[in-house]
Structure 1
Amino acid sequence: MLSLAPIAACGGSSGGSGDSKSLEMWTFKQSHVAALRNAAAEFKKQTGITVKIDAYGPDDAYTTKVQAAAKTHDLPDVLEVHSDGEDLTLGATGIAKDIAADVGSDWSGLYQKGVQLSGTVTDAKYKESVPSDSKTHGVKKGQRFSVPFTSGTFGIVLADKKMLAAAGITRPPASWEEFIADLKATKAASGTSGGVSLGLKVKATGLTWVLQPLAFAQLGPDKYHALFGKDASADFASPDGLKVLGLYDQMQPYWMPGTQTLDIDAADQAFAQGKSAWDIGGTFTLAFLQQNGMNPDDVMAFGLPGPQAGAVPKPALGPLALTGLTVTATSGHAENAEKWARFLAQPAVATRFAKDATEVPATELGPDAAQVMGPTLADMTKTFVGTPETTYDPSLNDFRPPTYDQDSVGEVLADLTPLAQKSVEATGKAMAKLNNSFWATSK
């Protein structure tokens, strides 16, 4: 997330290309570069406009690059950004152009229904922006600072088929209990390399990618929401909360050694290198694994399973926009930049991108989507299928206090596992106390 003083979008200097027939685009996703360049070649054939694609990573390096370029008014025309967070921050600082007036239903209708408003300051997003210390403070309702580009979800488990076969496992686990049993089996068969990797150096990953969908599956929507509420009889220190934390703590013996020191990319790389049999990530992980030399056909992928006796034993994972396309306010060629963003939303272009990048596009691809994306990626998207009552939707956060900070909650959870410094009971009390402090400051 960027923290910058507002910049002027005018005043004689501008970013992007100085040529009216060329554009510049930056991305933080190296795995998207080749696919974007292929799309750019077709875009030039159709429009005569050249798009230069550059990647800067990892995320913190990209943030630094954008910060420096914003200060010198040397930004590109288009930025690939983290959706519904970074894009709104860029809008609040004056870096992103408000494109709400230009994105009509004929454009937004190209996207999957669940992500069509991504990048827009909805009522909920505006409410989050009101506090003066909010990263998006200053945005206005109805503004739009990006359109969706890729979609997907978190809580996807990826497994090495060969290592699983060595442990006698040939199919995804049907329940949380089977998942834990399978972890035990692969560790027995492959030793320390038979465990599970997750970028737990980023503490919120354990919370948002595992504990929260697990809690939803165990408790159902209402009781899951109550964990973050004000009622002490239903929070993380309650019997329901302790039950969920106990289930999560069952993973303690099976973490890959050192996984708490790895960021997300490093954890995925460890899996690709055979240092773990399992990896927890999202639909976006497969492209990164392929980039690091792993064949997608060697990967088994499935959504995190629910407990057998849980309220939602077969949970679905709701898709959300993962990355979006932002037109910079300093671009001298905003019309062409928007033309490029809309071009990438066309079904034929998105289909080619899905194949080239091994990524789920935000565009609605229709009934042939599974065939387009390949079997492993298609298996991931099967987790999207559910009813509102059985779908864990990570984009719904209005049941939490407005000042809720997932990173500090993730720090507390890490003391339970993988650090094993606190018991389930002590962790529940600490999480409830922290949550209460968020409600208190929200007043």
Structure 2
Amino acid sequence: MTHERRAWRPALAVLVALALGATTTACGGDSDGSSSGKTLVMWTFKQSHVKALQQVAEGFTKETGISVKVEAYGPDDAYVTKVQAAAQTKNLPDLFEVHTNGDDLAFGAAGLLTDLAKDVDDAWLNNYLPQVRQDGGVTDEYYKKSLAQDAKTKGIQLGQRFSVPLTVGTFGIVYANKQRLADAGITAAPTTWEDFIADLEKVKAKHPANGGVTIGFKAPTTGLEWFMQPMAYGMLGPDRFHALWGKDKSSNFSSPAGAQVLETYGQVTPYWMPGTQSLDIDAADLAFAQGKSTFDIGGTFTLAFLAQNGFDAGNVVTFPVPAPAGGAVKNLSLAPFTLTGMSVSSTTKNRAGAIQWLKYLAKADVSATFAKEALDIPPTDLGADPAAAVGPALGAMIKAFGSGPSAYNPGDTSYRPNAYDGTPVASTLMDYTPLKKKSAAETGAEMTKQIDSYWTKQ
């Protein structure tokens, strides 16, 4: 599924590679876009990051004497067009904000970025959360993908690094209207699925017209991947969760375990906001921001969008999709991944200054300042009490991060068939909830049939 406020849209990688692939040899000359001397020019596709970057750049200038000029070009398509044009006219900036493991690799393959592998040492990496330290680098996985005949990252080399983390996050975050929770007598975020359903019932009773839940079902995989899957992972544990996508009918979606997952997920059915099945992700988030719903399912990236559209970030309670009380995972957490990173242009006239800027952004206090202004989660370790550094909403999301078997990792697709397409499977799930066209058993059987068809294409 695609979304501008998530990690990367593969279609853009195609556009970038096609447009830039022929420009590799043309990018070695002088660049009017990049600066010289004591000023760096940085491009970003996120308007919400401009003020935050400018704020921390003031401290960087005081420390180094180097100023940073931040320019935003959005949305994503416009950003790619801007980079295409600049590459062809040798007018690239010194620095880019990039979608990590996406346009950083495409830009790198096209020769537009500096390889940072020799610059980013262990001392630098240790500033970041362990889960995201390799992000932006060419791992074995990404190198193997680049060898495919139609790869859009052809030419990248194992061990290269084309970005370092700037913002991190994950899916499976529930947003709730704090005031409406209080109206219903709810003073703390739920920690179990049962408590969550009970809270939905209380709020709906207090606010029957707008007490429901919304999600961007027009992109069907939001319901499956952002909502049901974290709950199912907590209920079953990693092995039994992975088996839902397997070939064994005793453990896949048509099994008793699959039925249990679907029936538990179905408990949310009475609480969907009317019409949420027709909303895209932005429209669903806007419905929450405008008070048409009390709960919104999204990711860590959703908070900035809500604030941009008038919702008071101080009136939000955030918590991860919870697991059932009797689930296999007792302390369910969410594995973070890098959303956006920072890259250095291959044509910059001040490479050393650009590297200094990236290192400065990796400082915990600097990244916390950036995060508070941008309402995005930083990649650095903010200690045991992140809320003290970035506020309660972001702090609660950071506290939900984890690693290992107790962490649901949306980036792990190793258990699914290579040809798997989540959209048809998620559309079938929608027929169960919110549309109520199929029973849990019928839904499980159809999902199994679809998944089996992908296994036959292996």
Query: TM-score normalised to the size of structure 1?
Result: 0.89
Q: How does 1:116-131 map onto structure 2 within 5 Å?
A: 116-131=133-148
| Alpha-carbon distance in 1 for matches of 2:435, 2:107 | 36
* 263, 266, 276: which one aligns with 2:293: 276
- C-alpha distance in 2, partners of 1:247/1:232? 20
- Partner-residue secondary structure (3-state), 2:210: helix
Provide the residue aligned with 1:249 in structure 2.
Answer: 266
The superposition leaves residues 31-61 of structure 1 with CA deviations (integer Å, 9 ceiling, x where unpaired) of: 2221101122222233333322122344444
CA apart distance, 1:110: 1.5
> Structure 1 pair 413/49, CA: closer, same or farther in 2 (3 Å)?
farther
Distance 2:265 2:280 in 1: 20
CA contact (8 A) 2:165 2:340 kept: yes
Q: Aligned with 1:441: secondary structure?
A: coil
Question: CA–CA distance in 2 between the matches of 1:337 and 1:407?
Answer: 41
Q: Residues 423 and 143 of structure 1: is their aligned pair in 2 closer, same or farther, counting only changes over 3 Å? A: farther
Distance change in 2, residues 1:134/1:427 (3 Å) = farther
Partner of 1:402: 418
Q: Which residue number corresponds to residue 163 of structure 1? A: 180
> 1:157 deviation in Å?
0.9
The answer to whether the 8 Å contact 1:216/1:224 transfers is yes
Shift of 1:161: 1.5
Per the TM alignment, residue 28 of structure 1 is displaced from its structure 2 partner at its CA by 2.9
2:85 and 2:454 map into 1 onto residues whose CA distance is 33
Match of 2:429 in 1: 413
CA contact (8 A) 1:315 1:392 kept: yes
In the TM superposition, residue 390 of structure 1 has moved relative to its aligned partner by: 1.9
What is residue 3 of structure 2 aligned with on the other side?
none
Residue identity matched to 1:425: A
Structure 1 residue 277: Cα displacement: 0.4
User: How many Å apart are 1:408 and its aligned residue?
Assistant: 4.6
Choose the corresponding residue for 1:182, options 170, 181, 199. 199
Q: CA deviation at 1:340?
A: 1.9
Aligned residue among 239, 252, 257 for 2:256: 239
Against the structure 1 CA distance between its residues 407 and 79, is the aligned structure 2 distance closer, same or farther, given a 3 Å change threshold?
farther
Code of the residue aligned with 2:312 in structure 1: it is N
Taking a change above 3 Å as real, the CA distance of residues 242 and 78 of structure 1, as seen in their structure-2 partners, is farther
Instruction: Kindly indicate whether the alpha-carbon contact (under 8 Å) linking 1:15 and 1:330 is maintained by their aligned counterparts in 2.
Output: no
What SS class does the counterpart of residue 405 from structure 2 fall into? coil
Confirm or deny that 1:9 pairs with 2:24: yes
With over 3 angstroms needed to count, the CA separation of the structure-2 counterparts of 1:234 and 1:300, relative to structure 1, is: same
For the residue of structure 1 that corresponds to 2:96, the secondary structure is strand
In 2: Cα distance, 1:308 partner to 1:384 partner: 19
- Mark the CA change 1:192 to 1:62 in structure 2 (over 3 Å): closer, same or farther: farther
8 Å Cα contact 2:169/2:338 also seen in 1: yes
The aligned runs of 1:122-271 (5 Å cut-off) are 122-271=139-288
- Contact 1:124-1:398 at 8 Å conserved across structures: no
Q: Which residue number corresponds to residue 303 of structure 2?
A: 286
88-97 or 266-275, which moves further after superposition? 88-97
Name the SS for the 1:250 alignment partner: helix
Change (3 A) 1:222 1:162: same
Structure 2: 5+ residue stretches without partners: 1-8
Paired position in structure 2 for 1:341: 358
Aligned-pair distance for 1:314? 3.6
Match of residue 381 from structure 1: 398
Task: Please give the alpha-carbon distance, in whole angstroms, between the structure 2 residues aligned to 1:67 and 1:427.
Answer: 45
1:158: Cα distance to partner? 1.3
- Is residue 435 of structure 1 aligned with residue 434 of structure 2? no
How many correspondences in the alignment? 441
* Aligned-partner SS, 1:9: helix
Change (3 A) 1:436 1:348: same
CA shift, 1:71, in A, is 5.2
- For residues 146-205 of structure 1, give each alpha carbon's deviation from its aligned partner in whole angstroms, at most 9, with x where no partner exists: 111112222111111111222232222232122122222222322231111222223322
How big is each residue's C-alpha offset from its partner over 1:113-163, in whole Å with a ceiling of 9 and x where there is no partner? 111111112223334444434554553322222111112222111111111
